[in-house]
Structure 1
Amino acid sequence: MREIFAGLPWWIKWVAVPVIALVVFGGLIATVVGFVISLLFKALIFVALVGGLVYIVRKFMSNSSSRSDW
Structure 2
Amino acid sequence: MKEILAGMPWWVKWVAIPVLALVVFGGLITSVLTFVVGLLFKVLLFVALVGGLIFVVRKFTSSSGSREDW
Which consecutive aligned stretches of 4+ in structure 1 deviate over 2 angstroms post-superposition? none
Query: Which AA in structure 1 matches 2:23?
Result: V
- Which AA in structure 2 matches 1:8? M
Could you say which residue in structure 1 is the equivalent of 2:9?
9
Other-structure match for 1:48 = 48
What is the RMSD computed on CA atoms of the aligned residues? 1.1
Q: Which runs of 5 or more structure 1 residues have no equivalent in the other structure? A: none
Aligned residues: 67
Give a deviation string over 1:12-41, Cα, whole Å, max 9, x none: 000000000000000000000000000000
Identity of aligned residues (%): 67
Structure 1: distance between partners of 2:38 and 2:29: 14
The yes-or-no answer on 1:57 pairing with 2:25 is no
Tell me by how many angstroms 1:63 deviates: 1.0
Mark the runs of 5 or more structure 2 residues left unpaired by the alignment. Answer: none
One-letter identity of the residue aligned with 1:19: V
Three-state SS of the structure 2 residue aligned to 1:46 is helix
TM-score by length of structure 1 reads 0.92
Q: Deviation per CA, 1:35-56, whole angstroms, max 9, x where unpaired?
A: 0000000000000000000000
